[in-house]
Structure 1
Amino acid sequence: MEFFDYFVNVPENIVIVSPEFKILAATDRYLKTTMRRREEIIGKVFLKEVYQDPSVLFEENPVIISIRKAMDTKKVDYLDVLRYDLERPTEEGGGFEPRYWEASHTPVLDEAGNVRFVIQNTTDVTERELAKLARKASEEKFKFLTDAVPQLIHTAEPNGACTYVNQRWLDYTGLPFEDFMGNSWQKVIHPDDIYRVTNRQKEAIYAETDFQAELRIRSKDGDYRWYLVRSLPMKDDQGKVIMRVGSANDIHSTKLMVQEILESNEQMSALSDQVQQAFQKAEDQRLTLERLIMQAPAIFAILKGAEHRFELVNPQYQQLMPGRDLIGKSVTEALPEVVEQGFLQILDNVYSTGKPFVAEEIGVEMDWDNTGKVERRYFTTTYQPLVEADKVTGIIAFGYNVTDKVELRQELETLRKG
């Protein structure tokens, strides 16, 4: 087998370019990745007559700049991650396909030390970079949601070390974000509360359970206000704690009111108990909603009773099915298609056992726009039991539409297999 046969079968994206930037050779892997035939590119000026991005001038193209640097220095030049879209062949629909690359340019010298040609070796990192962008978008949405709520929101490692606080924490304490990381958050807790709180926190972390405590937090003015802090462990499918999510709700006025009632008249203790109970009931309802917010949902619905009747849906949920009336109807009446797909059994199980259920990237087939056309869309949804007076009275459903993410991954897998 000749050397050329060895070269074209190298399982790397390699193209060889002359000092005049003309393409001399390319591996089969490179041709497949770039959706071109060998006769279309050989002898053509690289990134000018072929693989041209019309939005970038040839001389200003970072790839050309890197190749020139390799020729000038006669050393390998590495190109950082770069977005460079590829033009699809006409028979495949035309247009440009977003791609991200990492590349190296290696000059090959003749006996006199002159550059004979440059070897470009590229790695298609599109899937990795798109995943980064998706993760960044998700993080930005989570930050927006946590900054929008009135509570002080934080996340922590399974061992309790703080990893994130929302803008409310920074505005209230006047401290920079970095001052809360790890265990530095303890500096804003009242000295008389810190020992009790950290001991209770350690017990909750060890037992992998919820943590709740009333404590005083110092403001940027140096004053302390009472807060009810709640921390919940988030677990993976195997039941392992992967992080903790917590909130702090201002109860200063309520705390002072209760203390004043108790101090003003000991015989009004019965009334203070009622006040505490009313506060606790309201707090339980708030914590249930707060848990939803901390999961960063995009769609939200409350289903009441064993028949799972829609009591509340947010605009994002209703927009999924603009032609359907949901409020007051049971899931069976409003969404008969999902019954056949097993969702009613999921709801019944959550309602009867009181255990939440998480559906990751689950497909749902429905006539979403009431046009007679059934489509499959994908969602990641949490079904959380709604508990009132120690009794399950309904279900909170919240999650987000991940159709674009799933379809993009499927498309990338198809391209990779193809």
Structure 2
Amino acid sequence: MSRVDDDEDGSRPLAVRRQAFDLDEMERLFRDAPAAVAWLAGPRHEYRLANDAYLRLVARPALVGMTVAEALPEIAEQGFVRILDEVYASGKAYVGTEVPVRLRRPADGLLQERIVDFVFQPVRDAQGRSTGIFIQATDASQRVGAQAALRESEAKFRAITNSIDQMVWATLPDGFHDYYNDRWYEYTGVPYGSTDGDAWSGLFHPEDQKRAWAVWRHSLATGDTYHIEYRLRHRSGHYRWVLGRALPVRDEQGRIVRWFGTCTDIQDIVDAREVLSRSREELERQVELRTQQLLQAEEKLRMAHKMEAIGQLTGGIAHDFNNMLQGIVGALDVIRKLEQTGRTANIPRFVEMAMSSAQRAAAMTHRLLAFARQQPLAPQGVDLNALVQSLRELVRRTAGESITLDVQLEEGVWLTRCDTNQLESAILNLAINARDAMPQGGKLTLRTQNVTLPPTQLGPDEVLAAGEFVKMTVADSGTGMPQDVIDRAFDPFFTTKPIGQGTGLGLSMVYGFARQSGGFATIESRVGEGTAVSLLLPRWHGEASDGPVVQPVSEIGQSRGETIVVVEDDDVVRTLAAETLTGLGYRVHVAANGAEGAALLNELGAVDLLLSDIGLPGGFSGKQLADAARASRPDLKVILITGYAQEAMDADLLAQRIELLRKPVLIDVMLRKVQDVLRPR
């Protein structure tokens, strides 16, 4: 008779088959487990099993048969073997959370710190005695790093929002308020956290609650900008008018993920509106009470406009001057190298490049001083008619054959006193603008006349006294300007010309010169009918009047014939980069804008390095060009050059393996950076 626990053929006991199956299944599950797991046997903690995830974590190819101290001596040095001893002896598990563990890299023998979550679980026999330890571990480095980055980001966000005057708040997509900056609590005087959720509406004036809720619900339902004026209870107990405004933040699918909003105290502005809406008699009674408040509100508004203009001015100056300095510094650097090596034949060419950039910088400085009304002037008595006559031929040649010049000089035009050179420059600037406004040809008119003006309001606090003026008008029959362009035409760096074709300082220089000379300028224009710009200068009753030392550097080595694409909109900077790189044996291809650079990269085969300015014309930045190029060339080396101080964050670029140079940069510095980036790793 066969036993019931034997195989059907009686060849092997069934219990043995089950045990073998269980061990095989257990080993497979152990090996394929997603977490890092290992099984240690005996008091010496000998590895009996370790899955692939565990081997990757400790950076070892094999561990079975070795003790922990033998396989991972750095672990023993950090006290983990002692913990294993305690777990084995006590039979109690040990749990470690976000524990720093230094593991030695086989490649170079250096210790690399990882953040690990792990469990040391004792394994017992049927009598409850420890026979080994089961280890489960998870590499938490990325999670901990992400949490740290999130905390840093949140800290920066709070620092930024708490540094501004407005009350800032944020909500979840359904409108649940979960954040207010310190200004909110300072303004309202309520305890922190007391207005979370929908409790904020309790601070609204009772008459405004229904209307404010309706507007807010509409924005939540449609995603439209939230914009409303309502009364908010101040910490003083009084209600003050505020302007509430919020915008939604959307994810890549267009879904709203948060709302960010602000509240701005506009009580002074509301008071001013109420005063203006009253009768004349009431207005007169309130003028003395409100004058100081109105002046303060106007001062805040003027300061806001001034800061906007300063921001625009400094940004434009930084970009243009850094380009010019790059041309000067780079050309001089090449000249020095040519002299050191005895190759003097090409020196005149680079001297011309440096001079060209220097002259552009001088012209920019000249225009900036004119705009700021701080330029040194040499005023003298000027016969405007005689001056225009002397400029007639120059203006005619400048305008071109397609434009008819009409000079209308009123007889007996008074003398004025100003800087003759500046006046000539202003007239020529206006003539060039007029020419550009008539691309198909037309009529250019230069006209002089005497005018007597009453007191003239030039600005909120600026009135020009009545008097006699000489008027110089430059008119064209060109495209004309809409009113919004006229309103900004004298603003610094405002231009309607494409990038690279105008600095936006021409008209602001003209206006600055006129004001510094005691006069002013005006613009009259209609779209499709032409433009007339007039300089008005005061009548005069007198008579008419006839770098730092550059240290030597070591020689730059020759290339191995790598291919480099250089993208730079400034001609001098582009030429300097291409010439010097070619001289070292690199195969250099150049482009003047982002679109040309992209086309060049598509045409070329293998490319070793992209060297590009960040700020490029045509709406395609150097960073965007690098991203597009790396889509098909993931290993492409990239160096970006910028003329702005904060145009890109070095840390962000470093994370993307992108090098950054800031203009002006010495040619040797650029060449060394190129060679360093291209050096085999």
User: Which TM class, normalised by the smaller chain length?
Assistant: 0.5 to 0.7
Query: 2: distance between equivalents of 1:21 and 1:189?
Result: 71
Note closer, same or farther for the CA distance 1:71–1:180 as it changes in structure 2 (3 Å cut). Answer: farther
The verdict on how the C-alpha distance between 1:8 and 1:190 changes in structure 2, with shifts beyond 3 A counting, is: closer
Q: 1:17 aligns with which of 31, 40, 44?
A: 40
1:204 aligned to 203, 219, 225, which one? 219
- 1:178 aligned partner, one-letter code: G
* One of 94, 106, 120 as aligned partner of 1:105: 120
The one-letter code sitting in structure 2 at the alignment partner of 1:72 is S
Shift of 1:169: 1.3
Tell whether 2:102 aligns with 1:85. yes
Task: Output the amino acid matched with 1:241.
Answer: I
Query: Which residue number corresponds to residue 133 of structure 2?
Result: 118
- 1:229 has 2:493 as partner: no
Aligned equivalents of 1:324, 1:192: Cα separation in 2: 65
| Cα distance change on mapping 1:339 and 1:164 into 2, 3 Å | farther
How many angstroms apart in 1 are the aligned matches of 2:649 and 2:170?
19
Paired with 2:138 and 2:326, the residues of 1 have a C-alpha distance of 46
**1:134 Cα offset (Å):** 2.0
1:30 aligns with 2:54: yes
8 Å CA contact 1:23–1:46 kept in 2: the answer is: no
Query: Aligned equivalents of 1:123 and 1:83: distance in 2?
Result: 12
Per the normalisation by structure 1, the TM-score is 0.63
User: Within 5 A, what are the aligned runs for 1:101-250?
Assistant: 101-250=116-265
Relative to structure 1, the CA distance from residue 42 to residue 166 in structure 2 (aligned partners, 3 Å threshold; closer, same or farther) is same
Look up the SS of the partner of 2:627 in the other structure.
Answer: strand
* Separation in 2, partners of 1:193, 1:211: 15
User: 2-side partners of 1:70 and 1:184: how far apart?
Assistant: 56
The 1:267–1:338 alpha-carbon spacing in structure 2 relative to 1, beyond 3 Å, is: farther
> 1:43 aligned to 48, 67, 78, which one?
67
Conserved 8 A contact 2:43-2:85: no
How far, CA to CA, are the matches of 1:188 and 1:312 in structure 2? 46
CA pair 164-106 structure 1, distance change in 2 beyond 3 A: same
CA contact (8 A) 1:7 1:27 kept: no
Measured after TM superposition, the shift of residue 259 of structure 1 is 2.0
CA distance in 2, matches of 1:209, 1:346: 31
Q: How many residues align?
A: 335
Mark the CA change 1:161 to 1:186 in structure 2 (over 3 Å): closer, same or farther. same
How far is 1:31 from its partner?
A: 1.7
Task: Supply the AA of the counterpart residue of 1:115.
Answer: S
Q: Say if 2:172 and 2:259, in contact at 8 Å, map to a contact too.
A: yes
CA displacement at 1:106 relative to structure 2: 1.9
Between structure 1 and structure 2, the one with the greater Rg is 2
Which amino acid counterpart does residue 90 of structure 2 have in structure 1?
D
Describe the superposition over 1:303-350 as per-residue Cα deviations: whole angstroms up to 9, x where unpaired. 89xxxx953879xxx99xx979999674944995645566868738xx
Q: Structure 1 stretches of 5 or more lacking a match?
A: 290-300, 349-358, 366-372, 378-396, 408-418
CA distance, structure 1, for counterparts of residue 260 and residue 75 of structure 2 = 48
Give the unaligned 5+ runs of structure 2.
1-19, 329-360, 365-492, 494-498, 501-567, 575-591, 599-614, 630-636, 642-646, 658-681
Q: Which residue pairs with 1:292 in the alignment? A: none
Q: Taking structure 1 as reference, are residues 202 and 6 closer, same or farther at Cα in structure 2, changes over 3 Å only? A: closer
In 2, the alpha carbon distance for the partners of 1:253 and 1:201 equals 24
Amino acid at match of 1:104: V
Q: Distance in 1 between matches of 2:70 and 2:202?
A: 60
Q: Secondary structure at the match of 2:120?
A: strand
Instruction: Report the AA paired with residue 311 of structure 1.
Output: G
Quote the offset at 1:209 in angstroms: 0.5
Contact between 1:71 and 1:118, CA under 8 Å: does it hold in 2? no
State the alpha-carbon separation in 2 of the partners of residues 313 and 178 from structure 1.
44
Q: Report the counterpart of residue 489 of structure 2 in structure 1.
A: none
Instruction: Give the whole-Å Cα distance in 2 for the aligned partners of 1:187 and 1:197.
Output: 11
Report SS of the residue matched to 1:402: helix
CA contact (8 A) 1:104 1:122 kept: yes
Shift of 1:118: 0.8
**Contact residue 39 and residue 132 of structure 2 kept, 8 A:** yes
Judge conservation of contact 1:21–1:46 (CA < 8 Å) in 2: no
Please report how far the alpha carbon of residue 43 of structure 1 lies from its aligned counterpart in structure 2 after TM superposition.
1.9
- TM-score, normalized by length of structure 2? 0.41
Instruction: Say which of 62, 83, 86 aligns to 1:68.
Output: 86
Query: What is the rounded CA distance, in whole Å, between the counterparts of 2:257 and 2:204 in structure 1?
Result: 25
* Change over 3 Å in CA distance of 1:38–1:169 after alignment to 2: same
Secondary structure of the 1:245 match is strand
CA contact 1:41–1:50 (8 Å) conserved in 2: no
Q: Which has the higher contact order (CA 8 A, sep 6+)?
A: 1
Query: How many angstroms apart in 2 are the aligned matches of 1:141 and 1:252?
Result: 30
1:355 aligns to what?
none
The alpha carbon displacement at 1:44 in A equals 3.8
Q: What residue is the counterpart of 1:311 in the other structure?
A: 316
- Between the two proteins, what is the percent identity of the paired residues? 21
- Structure ranking higher in strand proportion: 1
**1:366-388 CA distance string (max 9 Å, x none):** xxxxxxx94379xxxxxxxxxxx
Q: Name the amino acid aligned to 2:639.
A: E
